[in-house]
């Protein structure tokens, strides 16, 4: 692994924080004060509608995108990757820098001397999957909804910059905080599934409306509204955890906070995310900046 040149300014530490399933409008409704300190909160669009494929894009360096008109797609990619110069405190990173691997952790580790770490919440991102490529360390957390436990695991090398991918699960169904007993989590009949497959149960759930004399198979609109407010409350809670994180990290740290995809809470008869083409599945918050 190459060492960092002594004749240049050290690279920034870089944190990529993914609030799993977090809708843009839920993030805005939560009004997180600490996360907003990074910069302007943008509405952006995920490249994918489900956890695994979205994280593959994120780890290619393709963060959620804007939707500009009258541009060539290839030029947008080049511009977007060029932003990593600001994020990392570098000056010569381009799309070509990621070739042939097209893998951000591999590039950071092999070319810039980073220590690269992944702390993930959802089982579909477990260490045996191809997501675990180019990482110095990579861990599936014991609980799917405890960002504070991730913060306690973080450390920063005194001689090498660090990259952290944090896949945060509090904003994922069932939108439960770490101190909430599992028997109090909301359950969706026919959708919830086995807990260890927590990211499978919510993919593409079509709501079936109750007819006269029939049993209701899914939550009604009132209960879906409760679920949406649970995600909003999860963002409010996470804002406090992010404040603790900001107190921990070195000052030469750049942070990107976004989501892998959005969520449907009954719009057009759907709940969840996955193989559904709907704007609310792709709308995500995006905010980033350097901690000074």
Evaluate if residue 191 carries a pLDDT over 70.
no
219: pLDDT confidence band, cut at 50, 70 and 90?
Answer: low
Tell me which range, 26-30, 185-189, 288-292, is most confidently predicted by mean pLDDT: 26-30
Nearest to residue 117, comparing CAs of 80, 167, 173?
167
Which domains, and CATH codes, for the chain?
A: 13-291 (3.40.720)
Evaluate if residue 2 carries a pLDDT over 50.
no
Secondary structure E strands in 144-249: 162-168, 205-206
171: pLDDT confidence band, cut at 50, 70 and 90?
Answer: very high
Evaluate if residue 211 carries a pLDDT over 90.
no
217: pLDDT confidence band, cut at 50, 70 and 90?
Answer: low
**DSSP H/E element including 103:** none
Cα 51 to Cα 3, 48, 83, 200: the distances in Å are: 34, 8, 23, 10
Predicted TM-score (pTM) of the model is 0.89
Evaluate if residue 195 carries a pLDDT over 80.
no
What is the model's pLDDT at position 76? 81
What is the model's pLDDT at position 140? 97
7: pLDDT confidence band, cut at 50, 70 and 90?
Answer: low
User: What average pLDDT is seen over the chain?
Assistant: 87
């Amino acid at each position: 692994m190459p060492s960092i040149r002594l004749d240049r300014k050290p690279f920034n530490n870089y944190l990529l924080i993914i609030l799993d399933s977090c809708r843009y409008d839920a993030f805005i409704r939560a009004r997180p004060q600490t996360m907003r300190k990074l910069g302007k909160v943008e509405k952006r669009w995920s490249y994918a509608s489900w956890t695994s494929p979205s994280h593959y894009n994120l780890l290619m360096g393709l963060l959620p995108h804007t939707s500009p008109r009258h541009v060539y797609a290839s030029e947008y990619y080049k511009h977007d990757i060029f932003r990593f110069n600001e994020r990392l405190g570098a000056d010569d990173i381009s799309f070509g820098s990621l070739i042939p691997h097209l893998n951000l952790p591999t590039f950071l580790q092999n070319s810039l001397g980073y220590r690269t770490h992944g702390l993930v919440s959802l089982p579909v991102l477990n260490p045996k999957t191809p997501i675990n490529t180019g990482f110095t360390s990579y861990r599936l957390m014991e609980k799917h909804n405890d960002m504070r436990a991730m913060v306690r695991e973080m450390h920063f090398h005194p001689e090498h910059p660090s990259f952290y991918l944090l896949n945060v699960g509090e904003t994922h169904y069932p939108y439960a905080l770490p101190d909430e007993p599992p028997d109090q989590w909301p359950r969706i009949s026919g959708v919830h599934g086995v807990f260890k497959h927590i990211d499978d149960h919510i993919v593409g759930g079509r709501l079936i409306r109750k007819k006269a004399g029939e049993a209701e198979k899914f939550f009604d609109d009132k209960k879906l509204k409760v679920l949406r407010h649970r995600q909003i409350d999860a963002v409010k809670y996470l804002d406090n955890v992010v404040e603790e994180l900001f107190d921990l990290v070195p000052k030469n740290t750049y942070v990107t906070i976004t989501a892998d995809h959005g969520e449907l809470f009954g719009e057009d008869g759907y709940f969840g995310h996955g193989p559904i083409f709907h704007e609310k599945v792709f709308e995500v918050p995006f905010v980033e900046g350097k901690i000074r």
